[in-house]
């Protein structure tokens, strides 16, 4: 949602939504398709494992990792990640960096609501 989804929206390859989704995450209409897509993807992943619960649009993952978790995180953590990526205001001209997590992404010290969630990402050990 930080890079690819914004590129899709800029190219008018957006989702048609019959009803706008209003949540605690959305402050403008650009967020509605992201929240809907994030919820949909989260529901798909929740259906794959019987012990995973569906993400909640008003929920938040309480999980905290010490080392970055590179496997599939639970659906709520994924939802939180998609929403955080959408909140990041860095432009598309800033690519991610493989060696410095601060380059191309929002970081917790500057914008905690737009940073990669700590339910899977550790800025100390990635």
| Paired tokens of 9 | 């929206």
State yes or no: pLDDT of 115 exceeds 70.
yes
pLDDT in tens, 46-96: 989 989 999 988 788 999 999 999 998 999 999 999 989 988 888 788 899
Q: What is the DSSP string of 30-79?
A: THHHHHHHHHHHHHHHHHHSTTPPPP-TT-------SS---SPPPHHHHH
The predicted structure's pLDDT at residue 126: 80
C-alpha to C-alpha distances, 36 to 15, 39, 108, 122, nearest whole angstrom: 9, 5, 25, 27
State yes or no: pLDDT of 110 exceeds 70.
yes
The predicted structure's pLDDT at residue 20: 41
pLDDT in tens, 2-49: 777 666 566 554 444 334 455 555 666 666 677 878 888 888 899 899
The residue behind tokens 């905690």 is: 112
The model's pTM is 0.77
In sign, the C-alpha dihedral spanning 101, 103, 107, 110 is positive
């Amino acid at each position: 949602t930080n890079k690819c989804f914004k590129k899709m929206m800029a190219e008018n390859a957006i989702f048609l939504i019959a009803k706008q989704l209003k949540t605690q995450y959305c402050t403008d209409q650009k967020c509605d398709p992201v929240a809907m897509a994030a919820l949909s993807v989260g529901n798909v992943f929740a259906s794959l494992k019987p012990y995973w619960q569906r993400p909640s649009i008003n929920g938040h993952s309480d999980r905290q990792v010490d080392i970055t978790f590179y496997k599939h995180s639970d659906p709520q953590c994924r939802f939180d990640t998609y929403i955080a990526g959408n909140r990041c205001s860095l432009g598309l001209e800033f690519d991610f960096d493989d060696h410095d997590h601060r380059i191309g992404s929002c970081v917790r010290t500057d914008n905690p609501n737009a940073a990669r969630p700590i339910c899977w990402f550790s800025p100390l050990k990635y």
